[in-house]
Amino acid sequence: MASLPYPKEPRELPKIETAHRRIQSPIPHPDSLSLLKDLEHFEARSMQGQPPIIWHKAERFNVEDPYGNRWIDLSSGVLVANAGHGREEVRAAMEEELAQGLHHCYCFPHQARADLARKLIEITPDYLDKVFLLTTGSEATECAIKLARTHGVSKGGDKKKRIVTFNNAFHGRTLGAQLAGGIPSLKEWIHQPDPTFVQVPFPDGYANTQVAFEDFLGSLEGRDITADDVAGVMLETYQGATGSFAPVPFMEALRAWCDENEIVLILDEVQAGFGRCGKWFGFMHYGIEPDIICCGKGISSGMPLSAVIGRQSLMDQFGPGEMTSTHSGNPVCCRAALASVQLIESEGLVGNSECLGELLHGKLAELQQECSILGCTHGKGLIAGVRFVRPGTKEPNGEVAHAITQTMYERGVLTFSPVGPGGGTIKLNPPLCITPEALEEALGVFSEIVREKQKEIS
């Protein structure tokens, strides 16, 4: 589903000046219109769809435009700036590497890559003992699929090659990632579905109330798929479209089933990792051991880098030079990622995410009790998916969600455009360094707007 458009004509707004927000001009600013028109003219249309705010400066949990306006950022870009925007420590680490002239060195050995690989192994469970550095989350998930399928065929021959994923899953924009994904509208361009990719209902407990593991097995049996056909199961730790987690008993049963049948269990941590969910990695909430995790976004707090981390038996299936990528472990990106991880450690941002997550989800639970347009909220730590519906139903209400995000940025709180089924989910995911005061202020604005919209509809 394409994003609904935001107004491109300047709107006069009440002035706002608080400790963390400032709105002192029309939005969009009249002087920004030429830039917005250039982007619309020269770029592909798919790049449109976000609030018409010119990002000029960003620091920790604030974003500023060139015209003196400042927002509390609840987007983290798109769940990227986990340690915060514009952190001096990250910038200094990058500048030091740039000063050496190491802008790129392919897969030739370099210190930054070794340092980051060692650090990633340190912060993951002991059994995850090998790392493959890449550039994007899509690369990471495609790499994981390749590893799982190679392992499956080695164990069960050509028959054991299916990859099982979930409805409404998002694993990236490239061909393999979208074949694995569970959003039909994103696959329309493919035209020739691959029967070795199979989607089953995700047990979110809201849109799908059949959350027992037996329901998962029944979905496979209904398609004449047995465990002998399956090379891997891949799922997002929480579904990016809604912020929803699977039940712990479901995940425990899934892990056991994969163990019994030599099936690789892949957790897509691209949105969930590096403290976002109140633990270093979101899968830790399940108490299970995935065979492979895919990381990206928050790994570096701003630079393009991703990683596949897994068991040595899976990661070493390919020989030297057989699976590389042009920008694998880029030196500048590796330095940024190492500095970001060290910041998350030294400032206790995983704990901050857990603590402020209680505030975030507590406030949203209270709001849900008041407002029938708010169907459900999901999440843990500093990720929340707020699902807006038509009152009395579970039907997504994308128009209401979109209108709320517009009023939010007009009042100094920034999110990206709504996502999920029907565009009905607003995601709230600030940098992990946000303060309690700033989060309270942002949630106060959000709650006020939701109540206004509830009153308008009622």
Q: Report the predicted TM-score, pTM, of the whole model to 2 decimal places.
A: 0.97
Domain extent for 292? 88-346
User: With 90 as the cut, is the pLDDT of residue 264 above it?
Assistant: yes
In a domain, 47, yes or no: yes
Angle subtended by helix axes 349-370 and 331-346, to nearest 10: 70
* Same domain assignment for residues 307 and 170: yes
pLDDT of residue 2: 82
In a domain, 183, yes or no: yes
Please give the backbone phi and psi of residue 7, each rounded to the nearest 5 degrees, phi first: -60, 135
In a domain, 208, yes or no: yes
Cβ distance 402 to 453 under 8 Å?
Answer: no
What is the Cα 386 distance to its own chain's centre?
Answer: 15
**CA dist 420 → 137, 182, 237 (Å):** 18, 11, 16
* Same domain assignment for residues 76 and 128: no
* Same domain assignment for residues 38 and 152: no
pLDDT, average across residues 254-282: 99
Coil, helix or strand for 413? strand
pLDDT in tens, 59-111: 999 999 999 999 999 999 999 999 999 999 999 999 999 999 999 999 999 99
Count up the domains in the chain and report the number: 2
3-state secondary structure 93-125: HHHHHHHCCCCCCCCCCCHHHHHHHHHHHHHCC
pLDDT in tens, 134-185: 999 999 999 999 999 999 999 999 999 999 999 999 999 999 999 999 999 9
- Whats the size of the chain, residue-wise? 458
In a domain, 190, yes or no: yes
* Same domain assignment for residues 135 and 94: yes
* Same domain assignment for residues 339 and 354: no
pLDDT of residue 336: 99
* Same domain assignment for residues 75 and 140: no
Last residue of a domain, one of 346, 371, 406: 346
- CATH code: domain of residue 53: 3.90.1150.10
* Same domain assignment for residues 310 and 380: no
In a domain, 174, yes or no: yes
In a domain, 133, yes or no: yes
Q: Could you give the CA distance from residue 301 to residue 431 in angstroms, rounded to a whole number? A: 9
In a domain, 56, yes or no: yes
Q: Could you give the CA distance from residue 458 to residue 252 in angstroms, rounded to a whole number? A: 43
pLDDT in tens, 312-370: 999 999 999 999 999 999 999 999 999 999 999 999 999 999 999 999 999 999 999 99
pLDDT of residue 73: 99
* Same domain assignment for residues 416 and 324: no
* Same domain assignment for residues 409 and 435: yes
- CATH code: domain of residue 258: 3.40.640.10
* Same domain assignment for residues 34 and 109: no
* Same domain assignment for residues 181 and 277: yes
* Same domain assignment for residues 280 and 333: yes
Last residue of a domain, one of 301, 331, 346: 346
In a domain, 5, yes or no: no
Q: Could you give the CA distance from residue 135 to residue 150 in angstroms, rounded to a whole number? A: 22
Last residue of a domain, one of 328, 346, 364: 346
